[in-house]
Amino acid sequence: MGFAKDLSVSISRDLRHCEPRYFPGNIKMETEIQSPDNAHKRSRADFEDGNAIPAMPNSDSVQNDGRLWSGTAFNRTKKKRRKLPYEKLYISALPTSPRYSKSLMHKDQLSFVTVTPFTDFLITSSVDGVVKFWKKVAVGIESVKEFRAHVGEIKSVSVSQDGRSFATAGADKTIKIFDVITFDLLAILQLDFTPRSICWVHRRGASLPLLAVSNEADHIINIYDGRGESQTSIHRITSLHKSSVRTIAYNNGYDCAISADDNGMIEYWSPGGNYEKPDNLFKYKSSTDLFEFKKAKSLPTSITISPSGTQFATFSFPDRKVRVFDFATGKLYRTYDESLSTVTDMQQAGTALQKLEDVEFGRRLAVERELENPAFQNKINIIFDESGNFIIYGSLLGSKVINTLTNRVVKVYGKDESFRPLNLAIYQGQPQKKGVVTVSMAASANPLLQEAEERDPMLVSTGSGKVRFYIFTNETDISKSSRDVQNEKPRNLNSRQQVEAKPAESGTAAILHTTYGDIHIRLFPEAAPKAVENFVTHSKNGYYNNTIFHRVIRKFMIQCGDPLGDGTGGESIWGTEFADEFSALKHDKAYTVSMANAGPNTNGSQFFITTERTPWLDRKHTIFGRAVQGLDVVHRIENARVYKEKPEEDIKIVSIDVA
């Protein structure tokens, strides 16, 4: 009996020193174990606050009702939840509206958005090589200048620490250097290689601006004179990396750059002197967590330094994890799991921040899978707020704002919007701030002065595959009909869709993989080219994946193609309804595939397959295909139990293959 009592006390002591810790990016729980020596040290404040750890119970209380601790005593041993001082003040400096108040356009898909520090400019760039300068004014932004900077894609952009210089690197093997204040093109660097990542690597106020440029084909980092006075690099870093450098960031506080390569290796280096790691950082790399990516077989796609320079954050593929490191020690501080498996598990378990309808979740998951395309990966970034206590990044549920001290999601922007946020930038300044405020001015009740001192925070986001960038502000009176400004005439929506149109027009067959089996369809691009293009492009993009057959009428037809699942949703690949295409084809036999509509020329994404002859539909619905195999599957769906024409159990399109 004595031995049993001692064992119970020993176990109870161990239990006292374990505390569960939850992470907002995933559903995993880690257990942090304190050392017994530290656990039993109690300060005077513990007793004064009434939160002292209770004394060890005697043997009688240990054996009481078979438990080691009574519920009350165990609960009192839990630590206080961490609190960030002035957290509400920091949050109030962020935009208040969860929905975007305005969106503006480029003619092609947006690649990057950049807010310049100290100079209050927003600079946007798109995949067609266009760069636009926008000036932050009292409320909102104003367009000031546009450049056709590159022929082809912009690979990387960077703004200097003082906000006065901006550079772009293009697939056309050129670098363009802009003066932000005058929004003018200063210099053009002609390269003999294709640049991959660029970064200004000089301190604020430096007499010689330095621009680091990595090579897409090799491991070398080239350092250029940022004034553009020489076409040749002033230094080449050849021994630091062994493979192509994916991303570079600069820490102004430590005068140190950090870079990551295709092997998952992270390196620190000083832009001056011998281009080696500064002495005021960690001594041995083996004492850091910088090998984390190598161990995880994952590659960082972005590195962002906190405003104070004490931390940096990364996003990586294919593990889709957000990591926050301590800069000086290289130690891992936080990890947030945004992998598809974790997101799916949380959705199914109901533990996600927002429970989505299955169809909507399937649509968003299809967009997430598209991000595995390398063309998207360098567009994804993480940003810090001005205090450095919060990180912001795009996710399936919108743009998350996480307090890294308390490990809590404090805000989500755009959770009900239709776009998937990729590249983010934030402005938290005071656009009308006076240079000098006298005592009399501060003491006055002048409303104009008070208005001038007000902040106008602004979160700017691109969207996956979107030609718009979206602005979140403090504005709460938002009109959905007027918030999307038509400031550009899209170039057939975007040049990428023009490229995709060629294989879409040549599609002649499709296989609908449903939860009831496969349906093979022959397409008629000659009779209905726009309808076939719309169907094939949506199919290739995963638009129909996990949508349901929402309307089934026996001896008539089965209807599908609505992401909302109720017959009211769906749009064409052009974003607007398109015209009917009537031909010699008729609804004179079963298994005809036609566009659903709400009247003449109102085609979107919905379509139906007939199960009988339906001649009354001729010249009312566009015929673009016929089912030729899997006809038994069509009839199984047709004969499913329904309630008000909707199957009682969801019958889904899993995916569609096009040939």
Give catalytic residues, as residue numbers: 551, 556, 559, 597, 608, 617, 621
- C-alpha 149/C-alpha 551 separation (Å) is 50
Cis peptide before 318 (omega within 30 of 0): yes
Amino acid in position 483 = R
Q: How many residues does the chain have?
A: 659
DSSP assignment letter at 353? S
Q: With CA atoms as reference, report the closest residue to 15 among 79, 82, 77.
A: 77
- C-alpha 17/C-alpha 304 separation (Å) is 35
Sign, Cα dihedral of 552, 554, 558, 559: negative
Per-residue CA distances from 617 to 387, 528, 551, 589 (Å): 63, 16, 17, 12
Sign, Cα dihedral of 629, 630, 632, 634: negative
- C-alpha 164/C-alpha 151 separation (Å) is 24
Tell me the DSSP string of 570-617.
Answer: ---TTSS-B-----S--S-STTEEEE--SSTT-B-S-EEEESS--GGG
467: exposed, middle or buried (Cβ count in 10 Å: 0-12, 13-18, 19+): buried
State the Rg of the chain over Cα. Answer: 29
Question: Is residue 107 within 8 Å of 491, Cβ to Cβ?
Answer: yes
Burial 410-427 (b: 16+ CB within 10 A, else e): bbbbbbebebbbbbbbbb
- C-alpha 254/C-alpha 270 separation (Å) is 9
- C-alpha 50/C-alpha 188 separation (Å) is 67
- C-alpha 368/C-alpha 361 separation (Å) is 10
Question: Is residue 475 within 8 Å of 457, Cβ to Cβ?
Answer: no
- What are phi and psi for residue 568, nearest 5 degrees? -105, -5
Give all strands of the β-sheet with 321-326 in edge-to-edge order: 299-305, 311-317, 321-326, 332-337
Amino acid in position 94 = L
